[in-house]
A and B are shown apart, each in its own frame.
Chain A
């Protein structure tokens, strides 16, 4: 099955990023394709490489970067939401990209499921 994920909340403030990541991992483990993680609202701040949490905490942007590179999951931040929040190509972690809402529409159409996480 092909699954798309829509993540609408920023990291750390809310558990949404963590649940989305755990869900993606489990889906991949079960043999599904996680086609893309689309970031909207404050969710776009999930992929800044300026993130530098304490060593004993998870690094959420690094985790998305790894998932993307290891499993070919596209991690995409909405351009309009990114511009509002100071996210641009210069700060993106490897494996992520900025794109338009048209891409989310494509993701919604081409996948069997779209699962939303957020606040």
Chain B
């Protein structure tokens, strides 16, 4: 199950809610304002690092670039829209709006 998150964690609790329902192995993809979660050295970096122990974490590169985010928390993988499609090929999708 691929979980997508599109909200900034600073404004909205979606990220914190979503991770309560994650099962080990389920990938998370941050898109749109969700990508602010993976900026290196922010308040959520520790949670991201902890999540990475059991779940792969992805962020949509065009959304990072659009927001001027150049350094992401170590272990977070950046994908383009085709990479997003690739994740959808492998998993059913749970879009946490």
Contact = CB atoms under 8 A, between A and B. Distances in A.
A contacts B directly (C-beta below 8 A): yes
Interface of A: 1, 3, 8, 15-16, 19, 22-23, 25-27, 29-30, 32, 113-119
A114 B93 contact: yes
B85 A23 contact: yes
Interface of B: 6, 31-33, 60, 62, 80-82, 84-86, 88-89, 92-93, 95, 97
A41 to B, nearest CB: 10
Contacts of B93: 113-116
Given A22-B62, A116-B97, A119-B97, A29 B82 contact: yes
Nearest to A117: B95
Nearest to A25: B81
A3 B82 contact: no
Contacts of B31: 19
18 contacts: A3-B88, A15-B32, A16-B6, A16-B32, A19-B6, A19-B32, A22-B81, A23-B84, A26-B80, A26-B82, A27-B85, A27-B88, A30-B86, A32-B89, A113-B93, A116-B95, A116-B97, A117-B6
Q: A19, A114, A117 — which one has the most chain B CB atoms within 10 A of its CB?
A: A19
B64 to A, nearest CB: 13
Given A22-B62, A26-B81, A30-B82, A8 B97 contact: yes
